[in-house]
């Protein structure tokens, strides 16, 4: 059997496994009658994974597809140049073993999964990208371009690590401008003042719904599960921003109605948890699922794939092209609380604010094995939370489903202590 044939078979096998995983996730979800009806739109996107992701990405055939990683690649620019962005950060256990051929064991499962999907045709949109933009965020990402450049055209964006400096900002702005030129070359369309203004507005409209959604999540009792919140933002990876915004508007309408009717997705007095750390991407929903099965609610998260994804906003000031590019560069760099940067100042304040706003009782700190940046910050965050009297559970795991039962025990115990604390506070 030749190599080609072998890989094809492997791809087929992985596709089947992925389809099973997707099925296992959605079977119980589909039976859940308390779930908001309008989630169906978002479910559809993930259910197409079973057909190799065909149809997951919402774009016109003529539109160029620009793959992105992390949250540093300015989508405004891609839209303004007539392209369709697709965020390729991956969460599938199934493709990890493929990635392992190219990476050391110590690499995080996310980068393994991504390299797996890029090098083996399992999800079609990974191969269809006309350009893949990789920011040199963590060390794994910095090396990724070289590993996958035989499979897809790649552009690297160099990232400054000390974002406070004047030179770092100027440098990042020049990277954003270079990226603009690269995208223009691929799409054959220039980023003009009015197109960029339009693209910024399009995303700002999405942010209107994003903000509304997060206001609703503050409601007590909670009207939506944290896993579903991860899902809607995860859907943004693949959807066109306008379709996503429209779907969010209807979901928000439904949720607001639920708030008015006090329709809860959890039992009264359910434990309110906040989750932070390494990002979780579909289908790696094992922790949120466990929390939910145990009767808790993930009221908020601090993931770059979810709550942080659309939070920061581009502020158009004078509206000149240079002014907007500057604003875009700043938006992706300065407020980011990604742990690749030298200080944790912004992340610390953001966490405390989230805990306060969403009245979280405890925090789960999620580390993917091999995700050094989040690992490094654990101590600092642990101390911060301790000083503020917020209990924290650190969970280090990967994409494999093997440790689910062990996780369940630990999370259950953690929730018990939180309940105990609640009683103590009352008496």
Q: Which residues bind other proteins (CB under 8 A)?
A: 164, 166, 169, 193, 201, 204-205, 207-209, 211-212, 246, 249-250, 252-253, 256, 312-313, 315-320, 322-323, 326-327, 330-331, 334-335, 337, 345-346, 349-350, 352-353
Q: How far is the CB of 284 from other proteins (least distance, A)?
A: 27
204 versus 421: smaller Cβ distance to other proteins: 204
Whether 99 and 111 have beta carbons less than 8 Å apart is answered as yes
Q: How far is the CB of 139 from other proteins (least distance, A)?
A: 25
User: Concatenated DSSP letters for 23-59?
Assistant: HHHHHHHHH-TTS-GGGHHHHHHHHGGGGTTTTTS--
> Smallest Cα–Cα separation from 319: which of 167, 182, 201?
201
Whether 132 and 88 have beta carbons less than 8 Å apart is answered as yes
- Edge to edge, what strands does the sheet with 65-68 contain? 84-87, 65-68, 131-135, 154-157
186 versus 337: smaller Cβ distance to other proteins: 337
Instruction: Please tell me the distance from the alpha carbon of residue 170 to that of residue 160, in angstroms, as a whole number.
Output: 10
Q: Residue 297 forms beta bridges with which residues?
A: 272
> Smallest Cα–Cα separation from 71: which of 133, 119, 139?
133
Angle, in degrees to the nearest 10, between helices 241-261 and 226-236: 160
Query: 307 burial class (0-12, 13-18, 19+ CB within 10 angstroms)?
Result: buried
290 versus 351: smaller Cβ distance to other proteins: 351
97 versus 257: smaller Cβ distance to other proteins: 257
Q: How far is the CB of 424 from other proteins (least distance, A)?
A: 27
Query: 297 burial class (0-12, 13-18, 19+ CB within 10 angstroms)?
Result: buried
Going by their DSSP bridges, the two strands 65-68 and 297-302 should be labelled as: unpaired
10 versus 249: smaller Cβ distance to other proteins: 249
345 versus 404: smaller Cβ distance to other proteins: 345
Q: How far is the CB of 407 from other proteins (least distance, A)?
A: 32
Instruction: Please tell me the distance from the alpha carbon of residue 115 to that of residue 119, in angstroms, as a whole number.
Output: 6
Instruction: Please tell me the distance from the alpha carbon of residue 422 to that of residue 418, in angstroms, as a whole number.
Output: 6
Q: How far is the CB of 156 from other proteins (least distance, A)?
A: 24
Whether 193 and 319 have beta carbons less than 8 Å apart is answered as yes
81 versus 328: smaller Cβ distance to other proteins: 328
Q: How far is CA 129 from CA 67, 135, 151, in A?
A: 6, 16, 10
Cis, peptide link before residue 426, omega less than 30° from 0: no
Whether 310 and 202 have beta carbons less than 8 Å apart is answered as no
Q: How far is the CB of 312 from other proteins (least distance, A)?
A: 6
Whether 147 and 102 have beta carbons less than 8 Å apart is answered as yes
Q: How far is the CB of 286 from other proteins (least distance, A)?
A: 30
Q: How far is the CB of 175 from other proteins (least distance, A)?
A: 16
286 versus 350: smaller Cβ distance to other proteins: 350
Could you tell me the end-to-end alpha-carbon distance of the chain, in angstroms, rounded to an integer?
A: 72
Q: How far is the CB of 207 from other proteins (least distance, A)?
A: 6
Q: How far is the CB of 305 from other proteins (least distance, A)?
A: 18
123 versus 325: smaller Cβ distance to other proteins: 325
Q: How far is the CB of 162 from other proteins (least distance, A)?
A: 13
Q: Residue 385 forms beta bridges with which residues?
A: none
238 versus 341: smaller Cβ distance to other proteins: 341
């Amino acid at each position: 059997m030749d190599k080609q044939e072998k890989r094809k078979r492997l791809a087929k096998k992985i596709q089947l496994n992925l389809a099973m995983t997707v099925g296992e996730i959605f079977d119980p979800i589909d039976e859940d009658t308390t779930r908001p009806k309008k989630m169906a739109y978002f479910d559809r996107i993930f259910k197409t994974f079973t057909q190799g992701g065909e149809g997951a990405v919402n774009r016109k055939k003529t539109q160029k597809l620009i793959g992105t990683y992390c949250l540093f690649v300015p989508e405004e620019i891609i839209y303004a140049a007539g392209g369709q962005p697709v965020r390729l950060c991956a969460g599938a256990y199934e493709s990890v073993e493929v990635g392992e051929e190219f990476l050391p064991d110590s690499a995080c499962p996310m980068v393994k999964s991504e390299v797996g999907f890029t090098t083996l045709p399992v999800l079609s949109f990974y191969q269809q990208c006309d350009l893949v933009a990789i920011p040199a965020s963590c060390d794994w990402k910095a090396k990724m371009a070289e590993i996958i450049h035989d499979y897809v055209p790649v552009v690297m964006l160099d990232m400054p690590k000390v974002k406070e400096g004047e030179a770092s900002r100027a440098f990042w702005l020049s990277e954003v401008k270079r990226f603009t030129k690269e995208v223009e070359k691929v799409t054959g369309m220039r980023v003009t003042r009015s197109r960029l203004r339009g693209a910024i507005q399009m995303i700002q409209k999405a942010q209107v719904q994003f903000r509304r959604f997060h206001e609703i999540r503050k409601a007590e009792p909670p009207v939506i599960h944290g896993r579903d919140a991860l899902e809607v933002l995860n859907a943004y990876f693949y959807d066109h921003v306008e379709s996503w915004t429209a779907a969010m508007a209807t979901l928000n309408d439904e949720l607001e109605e639920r708030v008015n009717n006090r329709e809860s997705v959890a039992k009264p007095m359910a434990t309110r948890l906040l989750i932070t750390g390494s990002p979780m991407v579909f289908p790696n929903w094992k922790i949120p699922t466990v929390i939910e099965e145990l009767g808790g609610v993930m009221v908020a998260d601090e993931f770059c794939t979810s709550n942080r994804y659309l939070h920061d906003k581009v502020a158009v000031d004078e509206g000149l092209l240079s002014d907007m590019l500057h604003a875009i560069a700043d938006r992706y760099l300065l407020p980011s609380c990604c742990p690749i940067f030298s200080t944790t100042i912004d992340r610390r304040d953001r966490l405390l604010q989230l805990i306060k706003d969403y009245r979280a009782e405890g925090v789960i700190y999620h580390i993917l094995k091999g995700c050094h940046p989040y690992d490094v910050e654990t101590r600092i965050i642990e101390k911060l939370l301790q000083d503020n009297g917020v209990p924290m559970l650190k969970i280090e795991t990967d994409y494999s489903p093997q440790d689910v039962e062990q996780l369940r025990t630990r999370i259950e115990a953690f929730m018990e202590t939180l309940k105990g604390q609640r009683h103590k506070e009352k008496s």
